[in-house]
Amino acid sequence: MKNLEIRKNDVVIVIAGNSRGKEGKILKVINEKSRVIVEGVNILKKHTRPSQTNPQGGVVEREASIHISNVMLKCPKTGKQTRVGHKMSKDAVSGKKKMLRISRKSGEII
């Protein structure tokens, strides 16, 4: 498993593909395939036949996954895309070291 800089509930901007320029919240991260599902991005239509759970059937729109290299984290301060950096900090109460993610553009903690 890879340690990816992007996590669930992060706000990202799509930098490549048909949905370029759109932004959304990450719903799911698929580590094994290095893919993410972003809210409102890469929508596809799935035709479903009637069943007991869905007696009407019809066309359902849902998000498909996109490769993690096609998204960048949105900087909380500037609102633009940014790279992710790491910074070690020591907890004052417990004294444990903690790894923090920071924005390379503004230095703000994510």
Asked if residue 43 lies in contact with residue 61, where contact means CB atoms within 8 angstroms, the answer is: yes
At 11, which helix (H) or strand (E)?
A: strand 11-14
Domain residue extents for the chain? 1-50+58-74, 82-110
- Residues 44-84: pLDDT tens digits? 999 999 999 889 989 989 999 999 999 999 988 888 989 98
CB-side exposure of 34: number of CA atoms within 13 Å?
9
Just give the CATH number of 1-50+58-74.
2.30.30.30
Q: What percent of the chain has pLDDT over 70?
A: 96
Mean pLDDT computed over 98-103: 87
Residue type, 50: P
Give the integer Cα–Cα distance in Å for 38 and 18. 13
